[in-house]
Amino acid sequence: MDVAAIPGVPDWLPGHLQDDGIEALYPPQAEAVEAGVTEGANLVASVPTASGKTLVAELAMLSALAEEDSGKALYIVPLRALASEKSEEFEQFEQYGVDVGVSTGNYDSDGGWLADKDVIVATSEKVDSLVRNDAAWIEDLSCVVADEVHLVDDGQRGPTLEVTLAKLRQLNADLQTVALSATIGNADELADWLDAELVDSDWRPIELQKGVHYGQALHLEDGSQQRLEVRNGESETAAIVRDTLADDGSTLVFVNSRRNAEAAARRLASTTSDFLDQEERERLAEIAAEIRDVSDTETSDDLADAVAKGAAFHHAGCSNDHRALVEEAFRDRLLKVVCATPTLAAGVNTPSRRVVVRDWRRYDGSAGGMAPLSVLEVHQMMGRAGRPGLDPYGEAVLLANSHDELDELFERYVWADPEPVRSKLAAQPALRTHLLATVASGFASSRDGLLAFLERTLHASQNADRSELERVTDAMLDYLEVNGFLERDGDQLQATGLGHTVSRLYLDPMSAAEIVDGLRDWERSGGRSSSRSGRSGEDGEEPEEPAGFTPASELVDDGDDDAEADEPPSALGLYHLVARTPDMYELYLRSGDEEEYSQIAYERETEFLGPMPSEFEDNRFEDWLSALKTARLLEDWASEVEESQITERYDVGPGDVRGKVETTQWLLGAAESLAAELDMDCVPAIREARTRVEHGVKTELVDLAGVRGVGRKRARRLYDAGIRTRADLREADKAVVLGALRGREKTAENVLENAGREDPSMDGVEPAEVEGVEVDPGGSSGSGSDRGTGAEAADDSEDQSSLGDF
Ligand code: ADP
């Protein structure tokens, strides 16, 4: 179909597409148009990776916006990292008056500013929270697009997408729903659920050959074999990378862990470096320098070392800046190989000539060991092979060690169809969260109303038998009632004040229960935890509830109201409290950790909120210790320990530190609201612990670090030079301020202005000598390399924010 023949789209669109080199629609796109996607029809498009799904979404959104009295279009992405990629893509339409907004960040706001936008990009969690917070514009949507909708199958996040789509469709009966999916076997079921037309296609713009490498040959699915020799001492992966490079192609290697990605990149760098010309070397050296600048950590250095030689790794522990630099250099064909964990397969647009799926098993805690990847995941990785317009074809290969494995891999992945997508809604954690939110935000006010709402979900459309859903619903309603989040009056349901707060804060009710119980326990004992309840397990009264949980209701009327909470909880105690909630991903315990953290647990026993489980309760105790490890990381960060030391000590990447810090800020913010709701005395202590972790500083720096432009290091230097508060900044001798800020005039002026000083100018001021601080020779220009990242190099620029741009 010629782009000029698409009905329903704005007049400018065909010309715009033609300018972009798009003359005709790809066949699945044409099918979508024929199915009415530009005329308001609901659509499920199940097509392979890189086959132009984004344009289908754009056609739907732009045609919806072109309608008279149209509302907005919402594009739901599965990962935050994809939100900016997609919005950048849609910004190409701003020249035609289509305003694009991305909604990430806080889960407890109603995103009022988005009301002016035409296209909004957000994760399903964010959309869910906007619905809970009554964002007015949500009812004003004309079109919603759900990207990667096959992820409704994901046990963790799928239910949120499922419930969110159901809510949006309940709010607005005329809403056009477009769902984009990888190729799956049961796309028709998704179409049934969403009352949608179906485009189910395996067309690809470039040919893809799947296969398995074994011995000295590549066995392809069409039955052919290509010789691909593995030299002595060379790995199969290195041989494939070398073979691809001989043909001037690049390779994407998928492995099963971050560590493996890093190790593989390091090893493959010796292969790629032989193929670089002088110009490539120089450009890669520049990129490596930029990578080093991002942060002063081992991850950064390792990545830079590999990149300089033409190889890279890409995983969730890398910072956003790292990832963006790697993706760009790979697209520019400077990087010859990228070793990635499957995050990259989830939608980042980085096609390559060949894909190697090196590991087809991955550690899976619930399976207690290594478990095979799903066919869908492997096919999505494989789908990254072949760059339209650049490569003649793409090849995606698995690696076999034996003839049996060769046969197995063909059966299991090459010839296999992807698994059907199934709703995961009937699981307890998903339901307890979504049932509370559904009642709190007024979608249902009775048990029957809830069950009627659940009829709109994929779960209901896939399961004729409702008994399981009803059983779990009833169990979760009991749970919510017992914990004081819901009240029941006959069949009627109402959220309590606490329940409303929990829903708005976007907390898992179990997290809220853990926090409330911990805080209550602290208050009850007057903050002297050594005299507090004995460890559970020792008193023989094991609660029946899930690990770590005591019903808040048991603690409500304990008749101990006179106890004075005279001692506020410590930062470590609070970090530990939030680290043990299900909303925080804990750090794993490695060998030796159990002993180390048990020791710390006993040494600091009085600081914990709520009872410590007994050592004889293996799993609970271990979870509790992992939370302690996380809490210690946070305490280190909030005690001004260098970032590079933290990443080394806890064996994590800078992106992980950033993630933990953000989650803690959110959870402590929530704890603060809960404590305020319950009229507790510990609010200031929680606020202080939160601010400390936000800025990564000790208590005495909290005030200073809160001034925009001052971060943990600058705050420390100012403090040590005698400037201790925001108010001091307004009065202090400018020469001392300038000296403490290493002679950077612009920075100093900025800081003073942000602190509210009337005359912040540094004209004619000479930096005073400040002990332990060296003035930056290039400082007076004020430019420096103000990248504002979390780097903690000698440079001053790192101080912009706590952890910068991860
Ligand atoms: P998907 O979302 O299905 O993985 P994309 O939408 O990212 O794939 O499309 C892959 C590439 O194909 C993009 O670079 C896009 O510009 C290009 N493309 C999409 N549709 C067409 C078309 N009809 N003609 C030419 N190129 C197209």
**CA nearest to 805, candidates 120, 81, 285:** 81
In the numeric block, the tokens 């069950």 are attached to 451
Please check the confidence at residue 713 and state whether its pLDDT lies above 60: yes
Please check the confidence at residue 546 and state whether its pLDDT lies above 50: no
What pLDDT does residue 105 have? 64
Ligand 1 and 51: CB distance under 6 A = yes
Q: From CA 383, how far away is CA 4, in angstroms rounded?
A: 29
Task: Determine phi and psi for 50, rounding to 5 degrees.
Answer: 65, 25
Q: From CA 210, how far away is CA 463, in angstroms rounded?
A: 35
Please check the confidence at residue 602 and state whether its pLDDT lies above 80: yes
Question: Could you give the percent of the chain with pLDDT greater than 70?
Answer: 89
Q: Which residues pair with 226 in a beta bridge?
A: 218
In the numeric block, the tokens 């105690």 are attached to 573
Please check the confidence at residue 548 and state whether its pLDDT lies above 70: no
User: Given the CA of residue 51, which atom of ligand 1 is nearest to it?
Assistant: 3
Confidence tier at 787 by pLDDT (50, 70, 90): very low
For ligand 1, the distance from its centroid to the CA atom of residue 415, given in whole angstroms, is 26
Confidence tier at 550 by pLDDT (50, 70, 90): very low
C-alpha angle with apex 188: 186 to 189, nearest 5 degrees? Answer: 75
Q: pLDDT (tens digit, 9 = 90+) per residue, 399-440?
A: 999 999 999 999 999 999 999 999 999 888 889 999 999 999
When the pLDDT of each residue in the chain is averaged and rounded to a whole number, the result is 87
Say which residue, 428 or 781, is predicted with more confidence: 428
Angle (deg, nearest 10), helices 158-171 and 428-440:
30
| DSSP string over 80-133 | HHHHHHHHHHHGGGGGGT--EEEE-S-TTS--GGGGG-SEEEEEHHHHHHHHHT
Query: What are 303's two structure tokens?
Result: 């990545």
- The whole-number average pLDDT for the span 623-632 is 95
Confidence tier at 561 by pLDDT (50, 70, 90): very low
What pLDDT does residue 80 have? 77
Ligand 1 and 103: CB distance under 6 A = no
What pLDDT does residue 804 have? 27
Please check the confidence at residue 178 and state whether its pLDDT lies above 70: yes
For ligand 1, the distance from its centroid to the CA atom of residue 293, given in whole angstroms, is 33
For ligand 1, the distance from its centroid to the CA atom of residue 251, given in whole angstroms, is 20
Q: From CA 621, how far away is CA 614, in angstroms rounded?
A: 6
Q: pLDDT (tens digit, 9 = 90+) per residue, 736-772?
A: 999 999 999 999 999 999 999 999 999 999 999 888 7
Q: From CA 460, how far away is CA 447, in angstroms rounded?
A: 16
Confidence tier at 538 by pLDDT (50, 70, 90): very low
Ligand 1 and 349: CB distance under 6 A = yes
Which residue is closest in CA terms to ligand 1's atom 26?
22
Cβ contact 32:45 at 8 Å: yes
Question: Could you give the percent of the chain with pLDDT greater than 90?
Answer: 65
- The whole-number average pLDDT for the span 306-334 is 90
Please give the model's pTM, rounded to 2 decimal places: 0.79
Pairing status of strand 217-220 against strand 119-123: unpaired
What pLDDT does residue 319 have? 80
